[in-house]
Amino acid sequence: MNKRILGKTGFAVSEIGLGCWQLGNDFGPVEDKEAQEILQTAVAEGVCFFDTADVYGGGISEQRIGEWRKGLAESPIIATKVGRDAALYPNGYSKASVKKSLQESAKRLGVESIDLAQLHCVPREVLFAGDILAWMEDLKKEGVIKHFGASVEMLDEAKFCCEHPEIASLQILFNVFRQDAVTSLFPIAEENNVGIIVRLPLASGLLSGKMSLNHQFDERDHRSYNKDGAAFHVGETFNGIPFEKGVALVEALKAKLPEGQNILDVSLRWILDQPQVSSIIAGASRSSQVVRNAAASSLPPLSKDLHVLLADFYRDDVRAEIRGGI
């Protein structure tokens, strides 16, 4: 597993990290045993960067990570998020409420100080007002957190964050079906030494290539109840693309790929071919997926022709289908 430096944190993170939303049972139920297996498999595959949030399963994801890390000789790097808990979102933000929320996360994770605390898609007016960033600076000085970053939905929010002197990393929606950041964000992130963490690398699983129109999702799975954005931002589920359209686009792209190229590997490798990306936090609901995704770090870069094909396909066929803005 290759590693890259995560912006101003200086942390050497695995190119493939683990997204732990699934460990909160938000993609359908994951048993405790399977959750532990997913985490252990990740470490065995060289994954040393984990992404979670206080709200995943109402704290279950953090708790499971905390239990598991107790037994480890060396702790991996764990990033969590703050700002979507009911006590804060949408208008309960204060330094005290943010601090309390982070301290509760630290307790569940079993750490003294959080490696990386990310603002969790806080309302744009809260982000742009800037107070919350000043509180994060204070909380870093106080030792509650070691570094802070932001997870954002829109590229203008991402660009705003890049200008902040202490933001270490940005977590963004980015995949072959959402490519705008390559030109509109990455140069400014690189200039400001802000590490890029990629979420939804497989567009909630669409780009694994395994989904068909009759795919059934558990009623507790966000891909069932949020497929059109009924519960939270539509972009977070299937990348904002209507499910049926997404399946059709995946099939069309598969047909264009050179022989022997698989859409899942191509999707992950395409992201790693962007030098500004530090880590892909691929989500996994079973350990076999972790093994498969980790292997992308060892794949050779895609050819120039394939990069052109993917850029053209995105521009001509995909971009207009994304709902919720970019």
Ligand X SMILES: NC(=O)c1ccc[n+]([C@@H]2O[C@H](COP(=O)([O-])OP(=O)(O)OC[C@H]3O[C@@H](n4cnc5c(N)ncnc54)[C@H](OP(=O)(O)O)[C@@H]3O)[C@@H](O)[C@H]2O)c1
Q: Which residues bind ligand X (CB under 6 A)?
A: 19-22, 27, 51, 81, 120-121, 151, 171, 199-205, 208, 210, 236, 264, 281-285, 289, 292-293
Q: How far is the CB of 221 from ligand X (least distance, A)?
A: 8
* Nearer of residues 77 and 264 to ligand X, judged by Cβ: 264
Q: Contact, 274 vs 44, CB < 8 A?
A: no
Q: How far is the CB of 141 from ligand X (least distance, A)?
A: 25
Q: How far is the CB of 283 from ligand X (least distance, A)?
A: 2
> Which uninterrupted H or E stretch holds 106?
helix 95-109
The contacts of residue 326 (CB under 8 Å, 6+ apart) are 154, 155, 178, 180, 319
* Nearer of residues 226 and 305 to ligand X, judged by Cβ: 226
Q: Contact, 55 vs 85, CB < 8 A?
A: yes
Q: How far is the CB of 232 from ligand X (least distance, A)?
A: 8
Whose tokens are 């359908």? That residue is 28
* Nearer of residues 278 and 293 to ligand X, judged by Cβ: 293
How many residues are listed for the chain in this entry? 326
How many other C-beta atoms are found inside a 10 Å radius of the C-beta of residue 74?
7
Phi-psi region of 97 (alpha: psi -120 to 50; beta: other; left: phi over 0): alpha
Q: How far is the CB of 263 from ligand X (least distance, A)?
A: 10
* Nearer of residues 27 and 186 to ligand X, judged by Cβ: 27
* Nearer of residues 60 and 73 to ligand X, judged by Cβ: 60
How many other C-beta atoms are found inside a 10 Å radius of the C-beta of residue 122?
24
Token couple for 97: 């409420």
Q: How far is the CB of 304 from ligand X (least distance, A)?
A: 25
Q: How far is the CB of 37 from ligand X (least distance, A)?
A: 14
* Nearer of residues 99 and 204 to ligand X, judged by Cβ: 204
Q: Contact, 322 vs 241, CB < 8 A?
A: yes
* Residue closest to ligand X when measured from CB atoms: 283
Token couple for 275: 């030098």
* Nearer of residues 101 and 208 to ligand X, judged by Cβ: 208
C-beta contacts of 85-89 below 8 A and 24+ residues apart? 85/54, 85/55, 88/122, 89/122, 89/123
